[in-house]
Amino acid sequence: MAPKEMRVGLLLNGLYLQAWQVRAVEELQTVSGVQVVVGILPVESNPSPARSFWSKLNATVLYRWYLKRLHIKQLCESTPEWLQKLPLIRVQAVEQKGSTFFSENDLNAIRAHKPDVLLRFGFNILRGEVLHVAPFGIWSFHHGDEQFYRGGPPAFWEILHGKKVVGSILQRLTEKLDGGIVLKKGHFPVTLHSLSETHNRLLEHTALWPAQVARDVLNGVLNLNDCKSAPTEAPVYRFPRNFTMVLWLLKSVKYRLLFHWNDLFKAEQWNVAVLNQAVADIPEKGLYTEAQWLPEQSANDFRADAFGLHHGEEKLILCEAYNYESGRGEILAVNEQGEARKVLPDSNHHRSYPFVFRFKGDTYCMPECFESNRLDVFKWNPAQRGFSFFKTLLHDIRVIDATLCEISGRWWIFCTRRERSNYALELFHADHPMGPFEAHTNNPVKWDVRSSRPAGNVFEANDHWYRPAQDCSATYGGRIVLFEILEISEKAYAEREVRVLNPIKPYGEGIHTLADYDGTRTIIDGKRYRFSRAKFWRRLKSRLGMASG
């Protein structure tokens, strides 16, 4: 039986919190039934003895200097008003062989506040009875994938090693060091040329996790007793010493030069293909490698995000047509010979991902148009051989790659949003395809740059539902990961990986859309790189501050 309330205590190093920690606690306080009841911090200790100049020089001074220079927003410290009013307990913690223990008197003082869980933002390695003083234990962050990186600092070693993904976990601490019980885990993109951007992203979004775990516990979705530890033999990393920091800085310069080179001289060129394979066969057989590609566009244009559009005997491919000179995409209907025409009303906004669905004999298109800050549906007009505006499904949200489907009598929108487009899956649901739609209780339901962003139709095959997702870890739209949906409801969502779908040559650098064409054939897209003069000049003018409009 799920608990009705959750009383939270905070383990602190002092009467202050970093920005991401403030957000974590304030998000927790928005969860119905959650109450922050006490702050626990050490007694004020004597300052450490001054270290000599040579001692400082021989340690990690270069990294600490660089970190201060970055001024990472999420690390900024403050004392919010609610923290000033919070009941406080000052404990005399005992340090033994690198671990921290609490005395019985201090434990009793904590018990008096009846916390259900302690959220750790302070103290060192905790051991002993304090791990069990709250029924739900101590929850603690580790900003790194514990299977590969133990220790810290966050994102530093991943960047040094050229990794494109950084993991993070929220865990319940146990007596075993780095052997905590994983409550939530996610994977985020690494910006190789920017530690501050990577660090801020990681901290800002994982700050939502305590609230999400608490909500799942109170809603009966998560039983903490079912969570398991994740044994790891990963190496333990420390703060980088000065020589390592010099290497890191040199690599950082290399990454930044490479970023600007690619941005100026490499342009994505997508194209659309038809496979003689039913989409329902793909979970079992994977993708066929023989594809009928549409005619290639110029280096300044591409076509992508393809969906099938049928009216009468005519079969068309609805897709995004992007132009580098304008920096904008529009939606075109294309036949298999590559002949194209417009089928949506003109717009001043960029459009892409023209998702197509049918309801009660009518055909609708739901294109991505995040610049409009809403999600619109257009209805097919046979007389005009085009779409006209029908209804707005979502307001005040910059929706990315919205995908609609009906599962067990309920309609679901799978999507991400612009500010976290590649790594945070969200759900909305309604009892009718035209709404009104409600957000899933615990959005985002998934945090993973490798498999969050939608990649085409959610489809049924052999009584199972499958969701194609983009793997954007190595590159945008690098490949598709196919998931079987195990559970979907207003409060829960679960899926399991079934198959990875790799891009098909000659467009072998990416694939990010998979859709049924006509029941027996499938539409995909593919990516390769070319030089685009239009993109080059547009990016160069932007850098020089010469862009117009």
SS3 readout for 337-401 = CCCEEECCCCCCCCCEEEEEEEECCEEEEEEECHHHCEEEEEEEECCCCEEEEEEEEEECCCEEE
My answer on whether 296 and 440 are in the same domain is yes
Over residues 503-520, mean pLDDT: 96
Task: Check if the beta carbon of residue 467 is closer than 8 Å to that of residue 482.
Answer: yes
Section 495-519 average pLDDT? 96
Do 391 and 539 sit in the same domain of this protein? yes
- Does residue 522 register a pLDDT over 50? yes
* Per-residue pLDDT, 46: 45
CB atoms within 10 A of CB 310: 15
Instruction: Lowest mean pLDDT of 6-10, 73-77, 106-110, name the range.
Output: 73-77
44-48, 327-331, 359-363: lowest mean pLDDT where? 44-48
CATH code, domain with 46: 3.40.50.12230
Residue 520 pLDDT grade (very low, low, confident, very high; cuts 50, 70, 90): very high
Predicted pLDDT at 57: 53
Which amino acid is it at 46?
N
Q: List Cβ neighbours of 189 (8 Å cut-off, separation of 6 or more).
A: 164, 165, 166, 198, 201, 422, 423, 449, 472, 473
Judgement on whether residues 197 and 298 belong to the same structural domain of the protein: no
Burial 328-337 (b: 16+ CB within 10 A, else e): bbbbbbbeee
Please report where in the chains the tokens 């590159």 appear, as a residue: 475
pLDDT band at 488 (very low <50, low <70, confident <90, very high): very high
Q: Which of 50-54, 128-132, 204-208, 234-238 has the lowest mean pLDDT?
A: 50-54
* Confidence band for 547, pLDDT divided at 50, 70 and 90: very low
Residue 134 clears pLDDT 80, i.e. is over it: yes
pLDDT at 113: 97
- Measured CA to CA, the distance from residue 120 to residue 139 in angstroms comes to 6
Question: Interior CA angle at 153 toward 150 and 156, to 5°?
Answer: 100
* 44 has pLDDT over 90: no
Residues with Cβ within 8 Å of 297's Cβ and at least 6 positions away in sequence, in order, are 269, 271, 303
Q: Tell me if 117 sits within 8 A of 136, measured CB to CB.
A: yes
Mean pLDDT of the chain: 93
What CATH number does the domain containing 539 carry?
2.115.10.20
Number of domains in the chain: 2
Task: For residues 475-497, give the mean pLDDT.
Answer: 98
Kindly tell me if the per-residue pLDDT of 131 is higher than 50: yes
- The answer to the question of residue 127 being in a domain is yes
pTM score, whole prediction: 0.94
3-state helix, strand, coil in the chain (%, to 5): 20, 40, 40
pLDDT at 228: 85
Using the 3D structure, point to which of 244, 259, 274 is the last residue of a domain. 259
List pLDDT tens digits, range 331-389: 999 998 889 999 999 999 999 999 999 999 999 999 999 999 999 999 999 888 899 99
Rounded mean pLDDT, 458-479: 97
Question: Do residues 231 and 279 both lie within one domain?
Answer: no
Q: State the pLDDT at residue 394.
A: 98
d(CA 170, CA 20): 14
Helix (H, G, I), strand (E, B) or coil at 68: helix
Asked if residue 169 and residue 292 are part of one domain, the reply reads no
Is a pLDDT exceeding 80 seen at residue 53? no
pLDDT, position 214: 98
Rounded to the nearest 10 degrees, the angle between the axes of helix 533-543 and helix 242-265 is 130
Check whether 80 has a pLDDT greater than 60: yes
549 is a domain residue:
no
Residue ending a domain, choose from 191, 224, 259: 259
Over 50: is that where the pLDDT of 69 sits? yes
Same domain, 398 and 498: yes
198 has pLDDT over 90: yes
Q: Please, which residues have CB within 8 angstroms of residue 76's CB and are 6 or more apart in sequence?
A: 18, 19
The yes-or-no verdict on residue 56 having pLDDT over 60 is no
Q: Is residue 145 part of a domain?
A: yes
Contact by Cβ (8 Å): 516, 358: no
Asked, for residue 203, whether it belongs to a domain, the answer is yes
Residues 36 and 122 in one domain: yes
Instruction: Specify the pLDDT at position 58.
Output: 64
Residues 280 and 368 in one domain: yes
pLDDT(446) > 60: yes
> Looking at per-residue confidence, does 190 or 71 come out higher?
190
**Strand-by-strand arrangement of the 267-275 sheet:** 292-293, 267-275, 522-530, 514-516
Tens of pLDDT, residues 394-445: 999 999 999 999 999 999 999 999 999 999 999 999 999 999 999 999 999 9
Cβ proximity of 43 and 90 under 8 Å: yes
The rounded distance, in Å, linking the Cα atoms of 504 and 273 is 10
Domain that holds residue 282: 266-543
Provide the 10 A C-beta neighbour count for residue 549.
3
Q: What is the mean pLDDT of residues 38-48?
A: 76
- Asked whether residue 248 falls in the same domain as residue 287, the answer is no
Position 185 in a domain: yes
pLDDT of residue 544: 86
pLDDT for residue 549? 42
Strands 165-172 and 493-501: unpaired
* Contacts for 502-507: CB closer than 8 Å, 24+ residues apart: 502/287, 503/478, 503/479, 503/527, 504/273, 504/287, 504/289, 504/291, 505/289, 506/293, 507/269, 507/270, 507/271, 507/273, 507/293
Confidence of residue 47 (pLDDT cuts 50, 70, 90): very low
Specify whether 149 is located in the same domain as 292: no
Using the predicted structure, report yes or no on whether residue 212 has a pLDDT greater than 60: yes
Same domain, 319 and 377: yes
Specify whether 69 is located in the same domain as 200.
yes
Is the confidence at residue 548, as pLDDT, over 50? no
Cα 139–chain centre separation? 21
**Could you say which of 259, 278, 307 is where a domain stops?**
259
CB atoms under 10 Å from CB of 27, counted, come to: 18
Structural domain includes residue 538: yes
Asked which of 22-36, 39-53, 481-495 is least confident by mean pLDDT, the reply is: 39-53
Q: Which of 161, 175, 164, 183 is nearest to 234 (CA)?
A: 161
